[in-house]
Amino acid sequence: MGKPTGFMDYKRELPPDRPVHERVKDYNEFHLQHDEAKLKLQGARCMDCGVPFCHTGMMLNGAAAGCPINNLIPEWNDLVYKGLWREAIDRLHKTNNFPEFTGRVCPAPCEGSCVLGIHEPPVAIKNNERAIIDHAWSEGWVRPEIPSVRTGKKVAVVGSGPAGLAAAAQLNKAGHTVTVFERADRAGGLLMYGIPNMKLDKKDVVQRRVDLMIESGIEFKLNCEVGKDFPAAKLTADFDAVVLAGGSTRPRDLPAEGRNFKGIHFAMDFLKANTKSFLDSAHKDLNFISASGKDVVIIGGGDTGTDCVATSLRHGCNSVTQLEIMPRAPETRAANNPWPEWPKTYWLDYGQEEAKDIFGADPRQYLVSTKRFIGDSAGNLTAVETVQIEWVKDEQGRMSPKEIAGSNKVVPAQLVFLAMGFLGPENQLTTQLGVQHDERANVKAEYGNYATNIKGVYTAGDMRRGQSLVVWAINEGREAAREVDKYLMGTSQLP
């Protein structure tokens, strides 16, 4: 620790975002960056704790506490402070294949578990991480990793999201010949089509990393859905091992009255089409669901709901309302949410911040349930009827929603986006392979082992654990690669 009193001398400071009135007119990334002098001071705030919790990666009270990939955070914070950027990226890459992704889209559970955060604002870990990798790219330090020796073993990775990319990168590093199958026209999975461009630039960030992986010797087969375009039996016949990393892609539906009215869509259908049209033609092909001039209602919170808010604003929607069945989080940690747990507190994410700036209020309405969808005689959606609820204990002692009589409300809507989470992976491929699912409909495999019931077939990421964070997917992809390497070679030097 180069500055023992840094956490007392300097306050937490994040770089400004682009102004709302400017950024809602385009799909460029909205986070700006500090100059090197300010970044050094933010690195100096790291206390080099006797027991740092920032990189523990535990699950506490249902949420990640600390970094799931165990980033060496105190080390590279100190290196940032000292201006040793080359050493900092070497430390960062030891645990994280893609810090340019996590430095942009991770919710930063590391900061929620920062020891300094007990009594002061935590260290700006996420921003420092992004600064390190962006600096490394600009200096040309991020180079292809071509193994000196090939093992002769072939591995197929199904899915090119964060878990699949992490597994592919690690297996290639071990010397195996890796082929990644992706059913979309571009690699990246969730990173490419599930997260809007203003949060994670596709050409300059995602595709740049994919291109580097290709230079490293990894083959990508795009527009190729295994189980449909490529037989599942051929997968296990042609490859020595398989990693299933197809994600959790079956969206949760809302079977309310009027669900069939035109104008009701799953959130991911909206987001994927928007990004693809943006990348293909800057939206000139009109192959997307437009919110322009419409009243938009988003059912569900979380990152997906926020992304729908922000995208609708960029289309020029007439209004946007986000319905959440849970209560509004408290301003500060509740008594049952102590450090180092993830702080479940109220805050404005970028989409809500933009909506508040444009329309004057946070678009979220809490403790609201959807009763029915209302439409006209032509079958077009016109409104959503809602009702306020309260959470009460049922006869089994479980909390369940109870409607509040007389609280019904009609919200105008010509577009509704369902952002209520996912129910697990699609099962066409797993059925063909004979892979078992667990009680939650995910592919069955133990954490830390990742082997399915079919010899040589492994699984990682959301396909195994269910809907989760990008950083957990990277964790599982890396660990699954190690298990595959041990299966193929008897031992592994992969971390």
Q: Examine the domain organization and report whether 283 and 394 are in the same domain.
A: yes
- Of 377, 396, 418, the one marking the end of a domain is 418
- Alpha carbons within 13 A on the beta-carbon side of 482: 12
77: domain CATH number? 1.10.1060.10
In percent, the amount of the chain with pLDDT more than 90 equals 96
Query: So what's the pLDDT on residue 382?
Result: 98
Residue 40 is assigned to a structural domain of this protein: yes
Centre a 10 Å sphere on the Cβ of residue 455 and count the other Cβ atoms it contains.
9
Q: Examine the domain organization and report whether 78 and 126 are in the same domain.
A: yes
Residue 484 makes CB contacts below 8 A (sequence gap 6+) with 155, 167, 171, 176, 241, 243, 450, 458
Average confidence score pLDDT of the chain: 96
Nearest to 305 by CA among 450, 147, 458, 418: 418
Residue 337 is assigned to a structural domain of this protein: yes
Please, are residues 180 and 219 in contact by the beta-carbon 8 Å criterion? yes
Q: Examine the domain organization and report whether 128 and 14 are in the same domain.
A: yes
316: domain CATH number? 3.50.50.60
Q: Compute the average pLDDT of residues 53-64.
A: 91
376 pLDDT above the threshold of 80: yes
Residue 125 makes CB contacts below 8 A (sequence gap 6+) with 54, 73, 77, 108, 110, 111, 114
Domain containing 177: what range?
154-249+423-489
125 pLDDT above the threshold of 80: yes
- Of 139, 165, 196, the one marking the end of a domain is 139
| Confidence at 50, pLDDT banded by 50, 70, 90 | confident
pLDDT in tens, 226-255: 999 999 999 999 999 999 999 999 999 999
Please, are residues 337 and 63 in contact by the beta-carbon 8 Å criterion? no
Query: So what's the pLDDT on residue 1?
Result: 64
Residue 259 is assigned to a structural domain of this protein: no
Q: Compute the average pLDDT of residues 315-338.
A: 96
Q: Examine the domain organization and report whether 185 and 223 are in the same domain.
A: yes
3 pLDDT above the threshold of 90: no
| Confidence at 396, pLDDT banded by 50, 70, 90 | confident
Query: So what's the pLDDT on residue 2?
Result: 72
Query: So what's the pLDDT on residue 148?
Result: 95
- Of 139, 171, 193, the one marking the end of a domain is 139
Q: Examine the domain organization and report whether 436 and 310 are in the same domain.
A: no
Residue 27 makes CB contacts below 8 A (sequence gap 6+) with 196, 197, 198, 278, 314
Task: Map residue 107 onto helix, strand or coil.
Answer: coil
Residue 254 is assigned to a structural domain of this protein: no
Query: So what's the pLDDT on residue 157?
Result: 98
pLDDT in tens, 259-281: 999 999 999 999 999 999 999 99
Q: Compute the average pLDDT of residues 204-219.
A: 98
* Torsion angle (degrees, nearest 10) of CA 118, 121, 126, 130: -150
Q: Examine the domain organization and report whether 303 and 352 are in the same domain.
A: yes
Residue 244 is assigned to a structural domain of this protein: yes
Residue 412 is assigned to a structural domain of this protein: yes
pLDDT in tens, 158-167: 999 999 999 9
Q: Examine the domain organization and report whether 82 and 169 are in the same domain.
A: no
Query: So what's the pLDDT on residue 431?
Result: 96
437 pLDDT above the threshold of 80: yes
Burial bucket for residue 233 (CB in 10 Å: 0-12, 13-18, 19+): exposed
301 pLDDT above the threshold of 70: yes
Q: Examine the domain organization and report whether 413 and 300 are in the same domain.
A: yes
Q: Compute the average pLDDT of residues 464-480.
A: 97
Split into its structural domains, the chain has a count of 3
| Confidence at 48, pLDDT banded by 50, 70, 90 | confident
pLDDT in tens, 161-205: 999 999 999 999 999 999 999 999 999 999 999 999 999 999 999
Query: So what's the pLDDT on residue 168?
Result: 98
Please, are residues 91 and 460 in contact by the beta-carbon 8 Å criterion? no
